[in-house]
Amino acid sequence: MNTAAPLATDSLDTWLDYWSHVHVTGIDLGLERVIPVAEKLGVTQPEAQVLTVAGTNGKGSTTTTLAAILNAQGLKVGLYQSPHVYRFNERVKLRGIEVEDQLLVDAFIEVDQARRECGLSLSFFEATTLAAFVIFKNEACDVWVLEVGLGGRLDVVNVVNPDVAVITNIGLDHTDWLGDTIEKIAFEKAGIIRPNIPVVFGGQQDIPQAILDKAAECTAPLYAINRDYFYEAFEDGASWGFASSGTTLKLPTGSLALDNISTAVAAILVSGLEVSQEAIAQGIQTAKLPGRFEIREITNKTVIFDAGHNPHGVEFLLKQLSHYLNHHSQISEVVCVFSMLGDKDINSVVGLLKDSIRLWKIAPLNVPRAAELSVLTDALAGQAVETYNNVKLAFQSALDETNNNQLILVCGSFHTLEAVWEYLEECQ
């Protein structure tokens, strides 16, 4: 497609719109088109150390913790994550700070020139991921921490050879793309494993055979939670213990899930990077991520934002919610502002949440893959439900109508959270 490219002086939004129209589909798994462009850009074999993180849930928390620890050690870290919650710039960070618009625009110019020279089109995700890699290369980062977008084997992130492969867990999600069984999905995630590199598996489940097979094929040492490394939360609530062969650490409690924090610590320890216990502790305390059981007070109402959008993620949300309610006895009811994408397992998510929700305020999302309102209402049959034209109106009503005994939970999708944050931004 020979669409005229924007200029270097054009806005980031103009460039993002451009990339959304260059390729025929938003998701196009496979590396055939991407690899020639990545090679021309010189990003496939960075001089930096690379830690790649795949998994069904927990990738954001794990990559955030990894980057925070390595930044605390004084290394120059490039962190790539997706999707973003509010600003696109959230996807690309240097030393823990979102990159400026112009840095992204300059990288987009390089990517566009390279793909035109190759005579290839790129999807939005492919182009924006390659732009992150261009930035990390040009900025001479010491370490790249990369979150896989979808699967692993055929995801654009996998054009870069990692020095450490991390797989957080395996659950049923994106089944249309990755397969409808745990083993099929595990096969795709295991695609990030390379010969002779350490692999860390952080799933609270038996290690899928596909991961065992790929690690054996690559003679890659595999470190699994509850087998090769362990964590224990201490009663004081302020600290926890990490243990592996020859290593025992007492560390401070952070704001993210211990499953993911401990997996990040395990990856640091097997990476060969020199990182002090002080840097590990500091990184854990500074690691924050919007939309992961994020608690905020808004107009004197307690609001929890959680981006869980599949059964595994919602199970974890419910564990955290139960813990929170046990320590806040004044809250007796939960009002849920809710919407989901149509290609997600809506019935299973609702089935898990319904016993904890007093009232649902639902609305369709304003994105192409949004679930129709009728699909949401059918899934919530028998529940107390109020419908709204959009998520902003649903959230506004929740703020207006909830009392001090009620908590507002915003969940179901990153897009649900994004709509609420846009509303809050408009109100400032």
pLDDT in tens, the chain (428 residues): 457 889 888 999 999 999 988 866 555 566 888 999 999 999 999 999 999 999 988 899 999 999 999 999 999 999 999 988 778 999 999 999 999 999 999 999 999 999 999 999 999 999 999 999 999 999 999 999 999 987 778 889 999 999 999 999 988 655 454 556 888 889 989 999 999 999 999 998 899 999 999 999 999 999 999 999 999 988 877 899 999 998 999 999 988 889 999 999 999 999 999 999 999 999 999 998 888 888 999 999 999 999 888 887 898 899 889 888 988 889 999 999 999 999 899 999 999 999 999 999 999 999 888 999 999 999 999 999 999 999 999 999 999 999 989 999 999 998 999 899 889 988 87
Residue 104 lies in a domain: yes
Say whether both 270 and 322 belong to one domain: no
| Tokens found for residue 118 | 């190759």
Say whether both 275 and 309 belong to one domain: no
Say whether both 164 and 236 belong to one domain: yes
Say whether both 253 and 348 belong to one domain: no
Burial code (b: 16+ CB inside 10 Å, e: under 16) for 168-190 equals bbbbbbbeeebbeebeebbbbbb
Q: Which of 286, 315, 332 is the last residue of a domain?
A: 286
Say whether both 260 and 392 belong to one domain: no
- Please give the angle made by the CA atoms of 280, 262 and 87, to the nearest 5 degrees: 75
At which residue do the structure tokens 């050690």 appear? 73
Residue 322 lies in a domain: yes
Residue 6 lies in a domain: no
Residue 245 lies in a domain: yes
pLDDT value, residue 63: 98
Q: Where are the alpha helices (DSSP H) in 287-371?
A: 311-326, 346-353
Say whether both 184 and 310 belong to one domain: no
Residue 38 lies in a domain: yes
For residue 343, the SS3 value is coil
pLDDT value, residue 175: 46
pLDDT value, residue 64: 97
Amino acid at the residue 84: H
CB atoms closer than 10 angstroms to residue 128: 26
Q: Which of 286, 302, 333 is the last residue of a domain?
A: 286
Domain total for the chain? 2
Domain at 368, CATH number? 3.90.190.20
Say whether both 172 and 196 belong to one domain: yes
- 3-state DSSP of 53-80: EECCCCHHHHHHHHHHHHHHCCCCEEEE
Residue 106 lies in a domain: yes
pLDDT value, residue 5: 87
At which residue do the structure tokens 């494993």 appear? 193
* Beta-bridge partners for 409: 304, 336
pLDDT value, residue 301: 93
Say whether both 79 and 192 belong to one domain: yes
Cα–Cα distance between 77 and 93 in angstroms, integer? Answer: 8
45: left (phi over 0), alpha (psi -120 to 50) or beta: beta
Residue 2 lies in a domain: no
**Is the omega angle on the peptide bond into residue 83 within 30 degrees of 0, that is, cis?**
yes
| Tokens found for residue 176 | 């249309």
Say whether both 299 and 206 belong to one domain: no
Residue 83 lies in a domain: yes
Domain at 101, CATH number? 3.40.1190.10
Q: Which of 239, 263, 286 is the last residue of a domain?
A: 286
Q: In the chain, how long is the greatest CA-to-CA distance?
A: 63
> Residues 334, 357: contact at Cβ < 8 Å?
yes
- Domain residue limits at 384: 294-427
Say whether both 148 and 236 belong to one domain: yes
Say whether both 224 and 342 belong to one domain: no
Say whether both 130 and 271 belong to one domain: yes
* Beta-bridge partners for 143: 49, 77
